[in-house]
Amino acid sequence: MSTRALGARATTVALSFTVNGRKHQVRVPPMKRLLDVLRDECGLTGTKEGCGEGECGACTVLLDGRSVNSCLVPAIQADGAKLVTVEGLAARGRLSALQRAFVERGGAQCGICTPGMLVSAYELLGRSRGRVPSDPEVRDALAGNLCRCTGYQKIVDAVQAAAREASPRRRAATKSRPARRLGKARR
C-alpha cells in the first residue's frame, strides 16, 4: 500500500483486494466506505445502501469470510482482503440455488434488503456444511438484516429450501436414481 498526499485535505491510498475471485486495484481516500468503493470503483452495484448507519444490513458483504456492514468499513480495511458480494453468488450468470429459492418462495419483494439477506444466508449455509439450519438458526443468522416487505417467514423458508437442495442426503438420492436412457447407458 502506498500513500500519496494531494494537499492537506485529499490523501489517497492505493489498495488491492479480490472481489468474487477477481483482483481489483483502486486509489481512494482511506476512510472511503467499502460500500462506495464496491459501487463506484468496482462497478458492483448489487450491494445496496439502506440506512448507512450499520442498522439494516442491506450493504452486507463478506470480508475474508465474515459478513460485515460495508457502510461501516473503511476502504483501507479491505486492503489485501477477499470479498464476496451478491454478484459473486451467481456462477456464470446463472442464479444459485439460494437465489432461486428466494425468487420461488417470495423471499424477495422490493429487493432492497435482498442482496444483504442473500450474503448473510450464504455465510450461514457455508457454516452449516450441508445441514439444514433450524428456523431459529436462520433467524439468528439474519438478525442483522431488516426487511420491511416479506414478514421474514418466506426468507427463512427460502434459506431452508436451498439448504435442503444442497444437503448430502438429497445429493445422494439424486445420484442413486437409475440412469436415464440416453443411448449411452452401460449394459
- Provide the binding-site residues for ligand FES, judged by CB under 6 A: 49-52, 54-59, 69, 71, 108-114, 147-150
Rounded to the nearest whole angstrom, what is the least distance from the CB of residue 40 to ligand FES in the complex?
A: 15
CB-nearer residue toward ligand FES: 50 or 88? 50
Q: Which is nearer to ligand FES, 120 or 166 (CB)?
A: 120
Distance of alpha carbon 46 from alpha carbon 113, whole angstroms? 11
Integer Cα distance of 1 and 25 in angstroms: 10
Q: Which is nearer to ligand FES, 73 or 166 (CB)?
A: 73
Report whether 138 contacts 118 (CB < 8 A).
no
> Position of cell 468474487?
20
**Least CB distance from residue 76 to ligand FES, whole Å?**
18
Q: How far is the CB of 183 from ligand FES (least distance, A)?
A: 46
What's the min distance (Å) between Cβ of 84 and ligand FES?
Answer: 16
Residue 179 Cβ vs ligand FES, minimum distance, rounded to whole Å: 41
Q: Pick between residue 46 and residue 50 the one whose CB is nearest to ligand FES.
A: 50
* CB of 37 or CB of 113, closer to ligand FES: 113
Of 117, 181, 114, nearest to 143 by C-alpha is 117
- One-letter amino acid of 55: E
Residue 143 sits at φ, ψ, to 5 deg, of -60, -25
- As given in the structure block, the three cell numbers for residue 37 are 468503493
Place of cell 460485515: 68
